[in-house]
Chain A
Amino acid sequence: MKIEEAERLIQASRPGRADDARTQKAIAYAEGHDTLRERLAEQRQFDTHLGEIIRCIQPPEDLRQKLAALNREKSPARGHLSYLAILPVLAGVLVLVGIAIFFQMRNSTHFEGREKVEDLIEEVAHMSGLELEPVASNAGQLGDWFYMRGFEGYTLPADLAALPAVGSRVLAVDGHGVAQVAVEKLPVVLQVFDAAKFGVGLEPGGPWRVFSHQSWAAAVRRHGANCYLLTLQGTEAEMREIVNALPKP
């Protein structure tokens, strides 16, 4: 190991904690080097002192209560989603409508290119959230943002455009771009992609197709050339609540 490398790596050595293998090598090197040994000792003394001081920053005993109170003050009412709690009751009524609607719904989840859509659901399932770049605007205002990142043709219908976006990214699936948007205050990720490029044969302007894949629920529909896919970890019933709560176009 060169001295420059050791000098750089020992700066990330943490007092009282296990270092990674490279840092351990750097420390071993430093301890055999007069100047670096002295520097490391000074660094550890400073870090220990600073760590002791930082540990003294104690949260107030009632922090949880304070946070809950602040959250209630800052957050507007949960909005139109809260009254959707009654929708399970409505869903129960729908069951009474009978098997005809059941089969109609079942058939509606089968469409050309569904396997490609399932691939996109799995992309979301493997995300940690850190892949997204933070954004703070409505989803409909991200056209330029996506264009600058190589995704052309990002447009949203009116019911999706007003959703508040919190993070976005462009990913390539089978060589084709997909725009991803994490929606604030809703547990969904919106994906926009070119229907023809992914071979998805939904009719433009058709209704949401809600279906399950593994432990995920999805809603997909086509508007113009694009497909719009909403994904959440949950049930079809939860997804239906969300799409039913979208503003009507």
Chain B
Amino acid sequence: MQSNLLPNATLAEFYRLAVLLTGHAKAAERIMAEVLGEVQAQFEQLRNEANRRAWLAVRIRERCCAERPETPPAPGLVRGAGEESGNPELLQIEAFLVGQRFHALPEPERSALALFHLDLFTTAEIAGILKLTPDGLAETIGRGRNLLREALRAMRGPAPESP
């Protein structure tokens, strides 16, 4: 089992990637198990750690893209971007809600934004994984960010009227 070759922090980042791309923890676990099992032979051929991570990211992304369940309706977010951090329990709820919206983004915006926010790759490496130019990646991240911002804004509903 190749998960033994990954440090805890890296394994956790790949888990987050799979959750963001599928929107489901169970699906993320299943896809990770499948990919880690299947790439075992290829992993042995990749001596460079960055190449191993890139290979894993490519395979996890492929699997996640292959299954995109319908986005369930989600209630509004707990707080907006400018508001103070909530307590840890609220953050967990927000994480769930963001995951619900995140996986509904189109490709390659969804993958670009997910990889951008994880501690796995430099932007140059992300561009390589997604086969984009650096400028193309920047535009894709920008589009993804705008789409997610709009989706989250729609979840939060209209701003309360001031008295």
Contact = CB atoms under 8 A, between A and B. Distances in A.
A57 B33 contact: no
B150 to A, nearest CB: 12
A8 B142 CA distance: 8
Contact of A50 (B11, B47, B117, B128): B117
B139 A182 contact: no
Chain B interface, DSSP helix/strand/loop, else mixed: helix
Contacts of B149: 46
By size class, the interface of chain B is 35 or more
A171 interface: no
Contacts of B40: 185
The 7 tightest CB contacts between A and B, nearest first, are A11-B142, A70-B33, A12-B138, A56-B95, A59-B15, A128-B51, A187-B41
B137 A64 contact: no
Interface string B1-41: 10110000001100110011000010001101110111011
A71 B20 contact: no
A64 B3 contact: yes
26 contacts: A8-B139, A12-B116, A12-B123, A12-B137, A45-B82, A46-B81, A52-B91, A54-B117, A56-B95, A57-B16, A57-B95, A59-B15, A66-B33, A67-B3, A68-B3, A74-B33, A75-B37, A128-B48, A128-B55, A130-B129, A167-B42, A182-B42, A183-B41, A187-B42, A189-B45, A233-B44
Interface in A40-70: 43, 45-47, 49-54, 56-60, 63-64, 66-68, 70
Contacts, number: 148
B94 A53 contact: yes
B105 interface: no
B69 interface: no
A9 B138 contact: yes
B162 interface: no
B137 A63 contact: no
A1 B18 CA distance: 37
A185 B38 contact: yes
A22 interface: yes
A134 interface: yes
Given A11-B145, A43-B145, A67-B1, A57 B37 contact: no
Given A14-B123, A54-B117, A63 B81 contact: no
B147 interface: no
Given A8-B138, A11-B139, A53 B33 contact: no
A9 B135 contact: yes
A49 B81 contact: yes
A129 interface: yes
A56 B94 contact: yes
Given A129-B55, A130-B55, A184 B38 contact: yes
Nearest to A5: B135
Contacts of A58: 12
A200 B118 CA distance: 48
A243 interface: no
Contacts of B94: 53, 56
Contacts of B141: 11-12
B98 A46 contact: no
A3 to B, nearest CB: 14
A12 B138 CA distance: 5
Interface in A178-201: 182-189
B99 to A, nearest CB: 7
A188 B42 CA distance: 8
B163 to A, nearest CB: 26
Contact of B1 (A60, A71, A186, A232): A71
B154 interface: no
